[in-house]
Amino acid sequence: MDTMNDITTLHYLIVAATLFTLGVTGVLTRRDVIVRLMSLELILTAVSLNLVAFSHMWGNLYGQVFAIFVIIIAATQAVVGLAIAVAFRRNGEIEIPAAKASR
């Protein structure tokens, strides 16, 4: 069972896909804003993992450069998201109400 010991790129891709699916599910189904922000971070982590795995597979550095940018962008969006959530919280509830007139 030698092949079970080899971790190929595909393993990384499957982990990344799983993280991506979890993140998507979190954003679409959960109601709490903080949980949704965490799910968004999961999505971007999946992207970074994907990129680094592919970078190793191809042997060039494009993926890693893109991954660094994605991590920076994820941080920026987390900051902005939390700032907006804080402002939202100061003015009312933390949850997005399910049925509002603004739908």
Partner 1 sequence: MLPMVELVIFALGILLIDLLIPREWKWINALGAFVGVLFATACVSRIQFALPPRGLLGFNNSLLVDRFAIYFWYLFLAAAAVSILTSVQCLEMEDEHRGEYYALLLLSVVGMMCMAAGIDVVLMYVGLALTAVCNYLLVGFLRREQPSNEAALKYMLLGTFSYGALAYGLSLFYGLSGGTNLGTIARMVSGLNSQNPVPGLNPHNPAILIALFTTLTGLLFGISAVPLQRWTPAAFESAPTSASGFVSTGVMAAGWALLLRILLFGMWPLRSIYIPVIIFIAIATLTVGNVGALWQTNTKRLLAYSSMAHVGYMLLALVALGTSKIGSPEFLESFKGILIYLAVYALMNLGAFAVVTSLRQRDVIGDEIDDLAGLYKRAPVEAVLMLWFLISLAGIPPAAGFWGKYYVFLSLIESGHRVLAALGVIYSLIGLWCYFRIAKIMFTRTPMDVGRIRAGVALRCAIAITALATIVIGIYPQPLIRSVNWSLGIAPSKIAASPHAAVTK
State the residues that interact with partner 1 by CB under 8 A: 13, 20, 23-24, 27, 33, 36-37, 40, 43-44, 46-47, 50-51, 53-54, 57-58, 60, 62-63, 65-66, 69-70, 73, 76-77, 80-81, 83-85, 87-88, 91-92, 96, 100, 102
Q: Which is nearer to partner 1, 5 or 56 (CB)?
A: 56
Give the DSSP H/E element, type plus range, for residue 89: helix 62-91
The minimum distance between CB 5 and partner 1, in angstroms, equals 23
Token representation of residue 93:
């509830």
**Pick 11 or 83: Cβ nearer partner 1:** 83
d(CA 103, CA 99) in angstroms, rounded, equals 7
Give the separation between CA 61 and CA 64, rounded to whole angstroms. Answer: 5
- Six token digits for residue 90: 């100061």
